[in-house]
Chains A and B, each alone.
Chain A
C-alpha cells in the first residue's frame, strides 16, 4: 500500500512569492496534518484537516493556510514568503486522527528554500 506522497520534493522560491505544496495520504486515511521542521524550532505542528475541515491549528501566521479535498488529498499554501520559511514541510496522515488514538504516518517531505 502506497505511503504518504508529497510533491514537489524540492523547490526554491524568492522572497515575496507564494508556494503550494501537495500531499496524498495513505489510501483510506481521512486525517491529514502538516508539520514544519527547521534546525532552530524542530518539528512544529501547522494544522490538521479531516473531511475537508480544519480541526486543529498551530501557532503560525495567517500566511500559512491549507485545504483538504473530498478525496482526502491536501494542499498547503504559504504566501508572501520570508527567508525564515525555508524548511522541510512534512505531511502526515492517519485514519481519523490522533485524537482517536491513531498513529500518524509521515511523507518524505517537501524541502523549501526561500532566497
Chain B
C-alpha cells in the first residue's frame, strides 16, 4: 500500500519558469512532510518541510503547499534553474516511529 504517491514520474520545465511537483498521501497520521532532492549516485538532500498544522512554508525559491482536506501537497520552485534538474521525493514520517515513507519520486528536468 503506497501511502505517499507521486503520480508524475517526470516533469520538464523551461529555465526561469515555475516547476510544480505534486504529492498525494493516504495516511491521516502524518504530522509533517518533507521534500528531498536527489542526484544520481548521491543521497537525498533535504529541501524543505511543512507541518500538518500549516498550509504553506517558504524558503527562498522553494515553497511547499499543503491541502489537508485533499491530502495533497505540492512543491513550487520559482524560478527554475538547470541545477534543479534532479529527482524529487516527498516523504512523511509515520507517527510515533522513525520510519520515513517516501513517494516514488518525480524526475525534474529544467532546460535552457
Contact = CB atoms under 8 A, between A and B. Distances in A.
Contacts of A109: 41-43
Contacts of B101: 45
A101 interface: yes
Interface of B: 31-32, 34, 36, 41-46, 49, 89, 91, 93, 95-105
Task: Pick the most buried of B41, B42, B46, B93: most chain A CB atoms within 10 A of its CB.
Answer: B93
Interface of A: 4, 6, 31, 33, 35, 42-45, 48, 50, 55-56, 58, 88, 90, 92, 97-99, 101, 103-109, 111
21 contacts: A33-B98, A33-B100, A42-B102, A42-B105, A43-B44, A43-B102, A45-B99, A45-B100, A45-B101, A56-B97, A56-B98, A90-B43, A90-B44, A98-B98, A99-B97, A99-B98, A101-B32, A105-B46, A108-B41, A109-B42, A109-B43
B103 to A, nearest CB: 8
Nearest to A88: B41
B44 A98 contact: no
Contact of B93 (A43, A50, A99): A99
A35 to B, nearest CB: 8
Task: Pick the most buried of A4, A31, A35, A104: most chain B CB atoms within 10 A of its CB.
Answer: A104
Contacts of B103: 42
A90 B91 CA distance: 15
Task: Pick the most buried of B31, B97, B103: most chain A CB atoms within 10 A of its CB.
Answer: B97
Task: Pick the most buried of A45, A48, A50, A58: most chain B CB atoms within 10 A of its CB.
Answer: A45
